[in-house]
Amino acid sequence: MHELGAKALKLGIPLSVQLDLTYRCNERCVHCYLDHDDHGEMTTAEIKNLLDQLAEAGVFFLILSGGEIFLRQDLFEIVEYARKLTFSVKLKTNAVMIRKSRAARIAALGVESVQISVYSHRAEVHDAITKLPGSFRRTLEGARLLKAHGVRVSFANVLMKHNVDDQREVQALAADLAIGYHVDPTITPMMDGDRSILDLNIAPEELEQVFRDSTLVGNVEEFCAPPAGPLAQADALDTLPCSAGHTACYISPYGEVFPCVQFPLLSGNVRQTRFLDIWQHSAPLKEVRAITMADLQGCSSCTHGSSCSRCPGLAHLEGNMRGPSTQDCEKSFARTGVPSVHLLQEQSAGAGKRAAAGVDPRSAVPGKHPVVWMAQS
């Protein structure tokens, strides 16, 4: 995998693509960043044509996601076509609509793995997040059916105010079922830029507990991790901030191409331009590729530079793809207990605003709350 990533980076190949087949969903998760209306998603023929183009471009890892992918009546036709093109296919689903026959077909098609969203070990908490009564029971049934048919399954657990105390139990549930487990403490802003759902982010002290527990954090950023290359990771991070736009990208149900699902910088549309032309010649993608760690404002000399999981997409949504991502600065602080220069600046600015508003400055004493929790503002 290290050699494959290095070769793809050298040759400019989009090794991995996430394709959302639909934004429609049978759940209405409180933290979801998508608009669930259908504004004209690609047809079966358009998706098959796109898969041909992705294969031509050298894509190997294909992640099919949504919305809820099983709301596409042509899902298995698409998966079967992708497997004939020898993509390594991973599915993301809530598993509510998986029954025995569908689990058997997924196994027969040789799907590499299925990632399922599970938010709590308590049905009432999970269902309150998804806003779909009975979803917890049906999700677990789908997971068990997939496991029974030999499909590799993992649980993805997004942490928020609703379920912050349940992560260990969800991890234990996954272990009992011999299922993989990944936790993600990042709430992503809406794709239209609305940041109000960031109010769901967990508190700083809770984030610290998560990042100090290696059994929970594990492989949080696997899709967004910097591509492995011929350099040591510390050196690679000095030159390449993220795989988005370098060896990976995201395509929406409407054919829009972005560097990543968390990086809504429109770079082209496959309904108008062939994918390979977008990948090779898109001006926004070229701009993303031109950025190195040395260019990042306030990041190149940061004490967390070699370990930060900075997401350029989150930084872009905060206003500057070349600037720091406050959410990632907060995660680095949670890991190390050392605030970045950016967080100290945000703290100072926040203290000034509170003073101007007549708020007691002692409410932000560094020894108690050394960072401003920007997600709450």
User: Over the stretch 56-94, which tens digit does the pLDDT of each residue have?
Assistant: 999 999 999 999 999 999 999 999 999 999 999 999 999
Query: Do residues 47 and 76 make contact, with C-beta atoms less than 8 angstroms apart?
Result: no
Which band of pLDDT confidence, cut at 50, 70 and 90, is reported for residue 377?
Answer: very low
User: Over the stretch 197-209, which tens digit does the pLDDT of each residue have?
Assistant: 888 988 877 877 7
Dihedral Cα 53, 258, 78, 116, nearest 10 deg: 150
Stated as kind and residue range, the H or E segment containing 258 is strand 256-258
- Among candidates 211, 215, 91, 100, which has minimal Cα distance to 153? 91
Which band of pLDDT confidence, cut at 50, 70 and 90, is reported for residue 137?
Answer: very high
- Report the C-alpha gap between 73 and 78 in whole angstroms: 10
- Among candidates 22, 19, 16, 17, which has minimal Cα distance to 4? 16
Write the CA distances from 343 to 173, 212, 220, 326, integer angstroms.
Answer: 36, 19, 22, 7
CB-based contacts of 79: which residues, under 8 Å, 6+ apart?
64, 89, 91, 106, 109, 111
Cα end-to-end distance, the chain, whole Å: 41
% pLDDT > 90, the chain? 52
DSSP 361: G
Q: Which two tokens stand for residue 295?
A: 């260019």
User: Over the stretch 92-121, which tens digit does the pLDDT of each residue have?
Assistant: 999 999 999 999 999 999 999 999 999 999
Integer Rg of the chain from CA: 21
DSSP 206: H
pTM of the predicted protein model: 0.79
pLDDT at res. 191: 72
